[in-house]
C-alpha cells in the first residue's frame, strides 16, 4: 500500500493536472491570435462529459479528487472556449455560414449560445436525475455515458490532424499532457480500484492518444494550406475565379 503522502500527491495530480494541460494551449492561441489547428470540439466533449460526471458522482460517490478534476476541467474549458472563439480562424464554418452540422452544433457565432446549451444540459440532467436517481441501472448508464464520451476526447483532434495532414496549432505540450495524464490516470484507476467505467474508458482514450503521437511523426507541424496570409487567400480566390 502506498504511503499517505504519496497517495495525497497522486490525488492532487489527478485533480489539478488535466486542467493545467490546457493552460499552455490557451496561452499559445492568445499569443498567436489564432486558434487554427486546435479542435473546438475538444472543449465540447470535456464540458458535456464532466458536467455529466458531476451528476454521476451524486449517484455514486467515487473519489473526491476525481470530482474536483471535473469541476476544474469545466472552468478551464469555459475559458479556453472563450479564447478559441475570440481568435477563431478566418475561414471558420460559422463565419462562412456553411456549417453542415444539425442546428450548427458547436459552431455557433457567440459565446452566449454555448452557455445556453450547457445550461439546458444541466437543467435536463437535473430533471432526469431527480426522477431516476433511485435506480442503480440509471446511475451506471450515467457513468458510462460521461466517461465514454470523455474517452472520445482525442478523436476530433485526430480527425482534424488527418484532414489538415498537419499538427499545426496543436501544442506538443498538450499532446504530452494527454499521453502522460491518461497513462497516469489509467494506473491510478487500477490502483484505486475505481468503478469499471473509469478503467475501460481510460484504456480506450490512451489508445487514441498513441494514434496522435503516430500522426505527429507522420505529419509534423507544417502550417496547412488553410493557414495563409490574407493577401495569399485573396490571390488564391482570384486565380480560382479566373480559372
pLDDT digits (tens, 9 = 90+) for 144-199: 888 888 888 888 889 888 888 888 888 888 888 889 888 888 887 888 777 777 78
Q: Per the domain annotation, does 229 fall within a domain?
A: no
Angle, helix 41-59 to helix 64-86, in steps of 10 degrees: 160
Residue 82 has pLDDT above 90, yes or no: yes
Same domain, 208 and 124: no
Question: How wide is the angle at C-alpha 40 spanned by C-alphas 36 and 43, nearest 5°?
Answer: 140
pTM of the model: 0.78
Residues 26 and 83 in one domain: yes
Task: Read off the pLDDT band of 114 (50, 70, 90).
Answer: very high
Together in a domain, 137 and 163: no
In angstroms, rounded to a whole number, what is the distance separating the alpha carbons of residues 174 and 177? 5
CA distance 113 to 107: 10
Is 138 inside any structural domain? yes
Pair (213, 181) in one structural domain: yes
CA dihedral of 50, 54, 59, 63, whole degrees rounded to 10: 90
Q: What is the pLDDT of residues 184-228, one digit of tens each?
A: 888 878 887 777 777 888 899 899 999 999 999 998 887 776 554
Both 137 and 160 in one domain: the answer is: no
Which three-class secondary structure state does DSSP give residue 92?
coil
| 96 located within any domain | no
Same-domain pairing of 162 and 127: no
* Position 79 confidence tier, pLDDT thresholds 50, 70, 90: very high
> Is residue 166 domain-shared with residue 138, that is, in the same domain?
no
228 in a domain, yes or no? no
- First-residue to last-residue Cα distance in the chain: 71
Question: Which residue range forms the structural domain that includes residue 23?
Answer: 1-89+105-145
In a domain, 140, yes or no: yes
Answer yes or no: do 217 and 194 share one domain: yes
In contact, 50 and 201? CB cutoff 8 Å: no
Q: How many domains does the chain have?
A: 2
**The predicted structure's pLDDT at residue 242:** 47
Amino acid at each position: 500500500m502506498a504511503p499517505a503522502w504519496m497517495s495525497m500527491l497522486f490525488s492532487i495530480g489527478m485533480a489539478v493536472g488535466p486542467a493545467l494541460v490546457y493552460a499552455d494551449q490557451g496561452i499559445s492561441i492568445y499569443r498567436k491570435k489564432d486558434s487554427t489547428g486546435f479542435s473546438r470540439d475538444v472543449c465540447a466533449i470535456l464540458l458535456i462529459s464532466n458536467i455529466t460526471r458531476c451528476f454521476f458522482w451524486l449517484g455514486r460517490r467515487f473519489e473526491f479528487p476525481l470530482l474536483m478534476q471535473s469541476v476544474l476541467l469545466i472552468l478551464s474549458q469555459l475559458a479556453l472556449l472563450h479564447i478559441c472563439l475570440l481568435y477563431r480562424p478566418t475561414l471558420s464554418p460559422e463565419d462562412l455560414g456553411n456549417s453542415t452540422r444539425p442546428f450548427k452544433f458547436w459552431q455557433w457565432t457567440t459565446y452566449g449560445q454555448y452557455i445556453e446549451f450547457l445550461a439546458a444540459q444541466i437543467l435536463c440532467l437535473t430533471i432526469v436525475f431527480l426522477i431516476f436517481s433511485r435506480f442503480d441501472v440509471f446511475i451506471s448508464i450515467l457513468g458510462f455515458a460521461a466517461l465514454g464520451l470523455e474517452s472520445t476526447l482525442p478523436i476530433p483532434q485526430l480527425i482534424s490532424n488527418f484532414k489538415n495532414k498537419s499538427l499545426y496549432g496543436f501544442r506538443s505540450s498538450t499532446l504530452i499532457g494527454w499521453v502522460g495524464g491518461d497513462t497516469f490516470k489509467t494506473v491510478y484507476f487500477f490502483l484505486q480500484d475505481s468503478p469499471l467505467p473509469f478503467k475501460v474508458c481510460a484504456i480506450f482514450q490512451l489508445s487514441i492518444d498513441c494514434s496522435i503521437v503516430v500522426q505527429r511523426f507522420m505529419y509534423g507541424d507544417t502550417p496547412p494550406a488553410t493557414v495563409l496570409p490574407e493577401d495569399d487567400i485573396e490571390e488564391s480566390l482570384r486565380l480560382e475565379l479566373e480559372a
